[in-house]
Amino acid sequence: MQKIFGTKSTPSKKALLLGAGFVVKPTLTQLSEKGVEVTVACRTLESAQKLCKDVKNTKAISLDVENAEALDAEVDKVDVAISLIPYTFHPLVIKSAIRKKKDVVTTSYTSPAMVELEKDIKEAGITVMNEIGLDPGIDHLYAVKTIDEVHKAGGKIKSFLSYCGGLPAPEASTNPLGYKFSWSARGMLLALGNNAKFYREGKVEDVSGHDLMSVAKSYATGYTGFAFVAYPNRDSTPFREKYQIPEASTIIRGTLRYAGFPELIRCIVDIGFLSQDPQDFLKPSSSEPIKWKDATAKILTATSSSEQDLTWAISSKHTFSDTDQKTRILAGLRWLGLFSSDPIIPRSSPLDTLCATLEKKMAYEEGERDLVFLQHKFEIEHQDGKHETRTSTLCEYGDPEGYSAMAKLVGLPCAVAVMQVLAGKMAKGLLAPYTPEVCDPLRKELLEVYGIDMIERTVA
């Protein structure tokens, strides 16, 4: 390793790390400790300098990835580009890497725009490794492990469920949604509007984004201390082919939240607060922002901003299952401040104006921990005809004095993948961790070096 990453006779490997998000620091720190020289590039120099502070072997620069000439100049100086910016920008980075014949690593799903570049990637003789964070990432490593073991033993995967939740630790789940933000609220809320598609008992089921919260169900993980609900996330159907389980009649990948989350979100959807349509009364201006209760009245088209009229308007747009649920949901909306005289933080649309308030009211407080809970559940038919239900579970808490669980579990797998790419251990081409050949070395290093593991249990 020392020979690969720098001695007196061989220069150190170099990486360009693009991004300023919370997962960047664990990746940066690990690469630095391995002797990789890392250039951290953000739109603003200040953001890059903040990340590089007290981290050896680093340099901060300002870079706009939409400036192809500037991007090419920086990519040309390094051995690998690590793209931790929004996924829509990854193709720009990959095109630059193709031009300069450099490798790329991302934690994002392989997008159609990336697939369009596959031929050029192969012709350039480079590695573009995607989907190596937490979800996607660690989830793949352990799904592939169990599926491969079962298949080699002559068994079949009859059902595959995979759910992941990034949440506040139970003692920090101190609001009606049981959720807190360490990043932009917008991304989470927009994800709630995505359609879902999956296999259930041999049939394809579709759920519209509007109805997503209505299909959320209590989910038994085998860890009775957690009261989770689960709902499907986007399109799970391609994973029958990606995981090579054509025999599986049920395949669902989804999200975990604490109980109470879906009901409150469904009401917020029904009353129009996730609308992205600009409204004049929500636009920033030089005048004093309107009160939340007045904004709520306008969004609901209520007769007045009194709490009684707002409640009536909500009841006309959303159906409550019973009086207890109505009381809980209205208490949640009240806690969010939607009936209050507090001024809004105007952001043009109901969605963005709500986001501004959520980020203020639902941020992690000092000393609070986050929790990542990831679980696969396999229904297995063994070669001898016996059936088994097996779970594979990762439960990780953040360190208030160090990294959050989410940052650690996204950033460290990324760093390990980068090191393997730099060491020439990855194949060339457009890659993602869907085969034992790719997954096994990554999983082994994450376990042996960082103690990151998914624990398997037979539960039935």
Q: Is residue 136 reached through a cis peptide bond, with omega within 30 degrees of 0 on the bond before it?
A: yes
Give 41-85 pLDDT, tens digit per residue.
999 999 999 999 999 999 999 999 999 999 999 999 999 999 999
pLDDT tens string 157-210 = 999 999 999 999 999 999 999 999 877 788 888 888 899 999 999 999 999 999
pLDDT higher than threshold 60 for residue 1: no
Average pLDDT, the chain: 95
| CB neighbours of residue 283 within 10 Å | 13
Give the residue with greater pLDDT, 73 vs 8: 73
- pLDDT at residue number 11: 67
pLDDT tens track for 15-35: 999 998 888 999 999 999 999
What is the pLDDT, as a whole number, of residue 4? 45
For 437-442, which contacts have Cβ atoms below 8 Å and span 24 or more sequence positions? 439/140, 439/141, 439/144, 439/145, 440/145, 442/132, 442/141, 442/413, 442/416, 442/417
Mean pLDDT of 322-345: 97
Q: Quick one: tokens of 271? A: 């009353």
Structure tokens at 248: 């599986």
Cβ burial of 204 (10 Å; 0-12, 13-18, 19+) is exposed
- Which residues are tagged catalytic? 135
Q: Sign of the C-alpha dihedral, residues 193, 266, 263, 183?
A: positive
Q: Calculate mean pLDDT across residues 337-343.
A: 97
Q: Per residue in 261-308, pLDDT tens?
A: 999 999 999 999 999 999 999 999 878 999 999 999 999 999 999 999
Distinct helix (H) and strand (E) counts, the chain: 16, 16
Residues 128-143, mean pLDDT to the nearest whole number:
98
Kindly give, in sequence order, each residue whose CB lies less than 8 Å from that of residue 319, ignoring residues fewer than 6 positions away. Answer: none
Phi-psi region of 438 (alpha: psi -120 to 50; beta: other; left: phi over 0): alpha
Instruction: Give residue-wise pLDDT tens across range 246-263.
Output: 999 999 999 999 999 999
pLDDT band (50, 70, 90) for residue 117: very high
User: Which residue has tokens 């809970």?
Assistant: 373
